[in-house]
Amino acid sequence: MKKSHLHNIKNSGFKTPDGYFDAFDERLLKKLNVKKEMASISDSGFKVPDNYFETFDDKLQARLKNENSSTKVIKLNPWRKVAYLSGVAASIALLLTFLLNSKGQLTINQIETASIENYLIDQNLNAYDIASFLNEEDLIVDNFVSSSLTEESLENYLINNTSIEDLIIGK
Amino acid sequence: MHNDDDLILRLTSEQTKDSAFKELLSLYKERLYWHVRKIVISHDDADDVLQETFIKIYRNIHNFKGESKLFSWMYRIATNEALTHLKKNANLKNNSSPELHEHTINNLQADVYFEGNEIQLKLQKAIATLPEKQKLVFNMRYFDDIKYSDMSEILDTSEGALKATYHIAVKKVEEYLTTH
């Protein structure tokens, strides 16, 4: 029965855009032409002024000599850079401390998790930056191995600290 | 085949440095010039970049550790210099890099140091539409026939990824040439 049904289907159902076969030759020829044209190109077409390469060596040697004799490169000491950066960092830290203190008793717990998250995203911190905030004491293997969580505390944590959206996104 | 190790040895010794550097120049300046020229397009920019490249090579040759071929190391310096030059130019003119590049390409016809025919000009315009990495890979493979293994050292990208990039670039260039 199935077989006889198959015999009745004479058309695959596929269609081509209007005029596909009429335009096919032209498109193919155009493409072949492009390939032929590309194959005929042996260089980029750029040129150099006459004797450019012949005079380049002398020009460069003169520049090297000139730079070696007249300008001594003063290297910025690396510590100076660090000092500048730490100066900037310290002023920002100071400013933040004043700002935070002036509002009174704002603590890290009062800041919404979302704000902290946004801050971290905005600051473009990478894994190394974050790692630099960790104390080495935090990274002792025992801390990871020996701390065991009871199911109850895990449940409490999840109830208090997550929303249904987090769980869905977390999936 | 030229012996890199010997040349490097002479380049790193104070007594032989200058004569070895001359040899290095005669061996590589033209290849590096054409590589740079295809990135920055104008001759004057290519000249600036080539000088900066060789000055960097001269100053830093003692840092060359032989982890890659000397030629790949120099190509990498030249590529970085050329890309930095493009960005610097764009910043000076308060323009974005691709915009400026398009402008340069459109002026190519008037450039006295461009003698390409119509199809070569069209090809340059097609290449100009490619993203930076595709442009580099296309130029290096299509015009300079640089091996994928060498290109991998120069651009710090896997050979597989480079082959894929080249394939995409060729498709885009063909597409541009067919429709323009």
**The domain B116-180 is classified under which CATH number: 1.10.150.20, 1.20.120.790, 1.10.10.10, 3.40.50.800?**
1.10.10.10
Give the pLDDT of residue A146: 62
More confident residue, B28 or A164: B28
Give the pLDDT of residue B28: 93
Chain B residues touching residue A49 (CB < 8 angstroms): 43, 113
Domain with CATH 1.10.10.10 in chain B: 116-180
Whether the predicted pLDDT of A170 surpasses 60: no
A134–B contact, CB cutoff 8 A: no
Give the pLDDT of residue B92: 81
Whether the predicted pLDDT of A1 surpasses 60: no
Residues 6+ apart with CB under 8 A from B35: B75, B78, B79, B82, B139, B140, B144
Model confidence, pTM: 0.64
CB pairs under 8 A between A and B: 76
The pLDDT tens digits for A59-95 are: 998 888 887 776 555 555 666 677 777 888 888 888 8
Chain A residues touching residue B123 (CB < 8 angstroms): 38, 41, 44
**The domain B1-115 is classified under which CATH number: 3.40.47.10, 1.10.1740.10, 3.30.390.30, 1.10.730.10?**
1.10.1740.10
The pLDDT tens digits for A101-135 are: 655 566 777 777 777 777 777 766 666 666 666 66
A46 vs B173: CB contact, 8 Å cut-off? Answer: no
Give the pLDDT of residue B1: 46
Give the pLDDT of residue B177: 92
Q: What CA–CA distance (Å, rounded) separates B47 from B70? A: 21
A49–B contact, CB cutoff 8 A: yes
Mean pLDDT of A151-162: 80
Average pLDDT along chain B, 180 residues, taken 10 residues at a time: 78 88 92 94 93 93 86 94 91 75 78 86 91 94 93 93 95 92
Domain with CATH 1.10.1740.10 in chain B: 1-115
Mean pLDDT of A131-146: 62
Give the pLDDT of residue A171: 47
* E strand intervals along chain A: none
- The alpha-carbon gap from A69 to the nearest alpha carbon of chain B, in Å, equals 14
Q: 3-state SS of chain B: helix, strand, coil percent to 5?
A: 80, 0, 20
